[in-house]
Amino acid sequence: MSETVVKIKNLKKVFGAEEVLHSIDLEVDKGEVVCVLGPSGSGKSTMLRCINLLETPTSGEIWVNDTQINAKGTDINKAREQLGMVFQQFNLFPHKTAQGNVELALRKVRKMSKEEASIIAREQLGRVGLAERADFYPSQLSGGQQQRVAIARALAMEPAVMLFDEVTSALDPELVRDVLNVMRDLAQAGMTMIVVTHEMGFARDVADRVIFMDGGSVIEEGSPEDIFENPKNERTRDFLGHLKES
């Protein structure tokens, strides 16, 4: 029997006079990889940012495990500990080494000793293939390596779900593969993941379910085979058709 990790009910987000998310409903089960596709401005990143409460939902409910994280009185910082988020930009501290960047939240949020945090940081950097770069500063790392440090930093907090927001879009093409390989490994290891991406090959190969968004709404969802081989909605067909032509 599946166990729901993330549940979104009737999520709406309004900026000024514009409703950018319209009544989003979504459930993600433990160990499931959900890839979210759609054109720029479709609400994909806003939805992720609402899940992590970096944007405050205008209405609706967001549940992670058994906690409604956007309920009044919820400890947001505590709720966020269940959510690992990796952004387009790496957001690493330039004055700290790769290891120092991974250790920081463990020491500040989890109140771990330097020794405990160091062990976990080394372990997670090894997990993303950067054990040999633990003592390097961000300026000494490629963009792909910096993004893998950001993934290690999120993983170190042992989140219930990982949120990825176009994490390869700022990378040179030759650096994309290593980051995607780390994400593939996480998926194979059973990590629950919601991935906003334009990497269609990754979505086709790794996703358990694909969601297509446009205009702030979920237009269509299904298995990768359903979406890529037999999309039912005309807007989905049009979007995928343009990708094939480009």
Q: Is the pLDDT of residue 160 over 70?
A: yes
Tens digits of residue pLDDT in 169-189: 989 888 899 999 999 999 999
DSSP the chain: ---EEEEEEEEEEEETTEEEEEEEEEEEETT-EEEEE--TTSSHHHHHHHHTTSS--SEEEEEETTEETTSTT--HHHHHTTEEEE-SS----TTS-HHHHHHHHHHHTS---HHHHHHHHHHHHHHTT-GGGTT--GGGS-HHHHHHHHHHHHHTT--SEEEEESTTTTS-HHHHHHHHHHHHHHHHTT--EEEE-S-HHHHHHH-SEEEEEETTEEEEEE-HHHHHH---SHHHHHHHHHHHH-
Counting residues of the chain whose pLDDT is more than 90, the rounded percentage is 84
Q: Is the pLDDT of residue 81 over 90?
A: no
Query: Across the chain, what does the average pLDDT equal?
Result: 93
Predicted local confidence at residue 1, as pLDDT: 58
Mean pLDDT of all residues in 108-118? 93
Mean pLDDT of all residues in 13-22? 93
pTM across the whole model: 0.94
Predicted local confidence at residue 57, as pLDDT: 95
pLDDT band at 76 (very low <50, low <70, confident <90, very high): confident
pLDDT band at 231 (very low <50, low <70, confident <90, very high): very high
Q: Is the pLDDT of residue 245 over 60?
A: no
Predicted local confidence at residue 94, as pLDDT: 96
Least confident of 78-87, 142-151, 181-190: 78-87
Tens digits of residue pLDDT in 18-58: 999 999 999 999 999 999 999 999 999 999 999 999 999 99
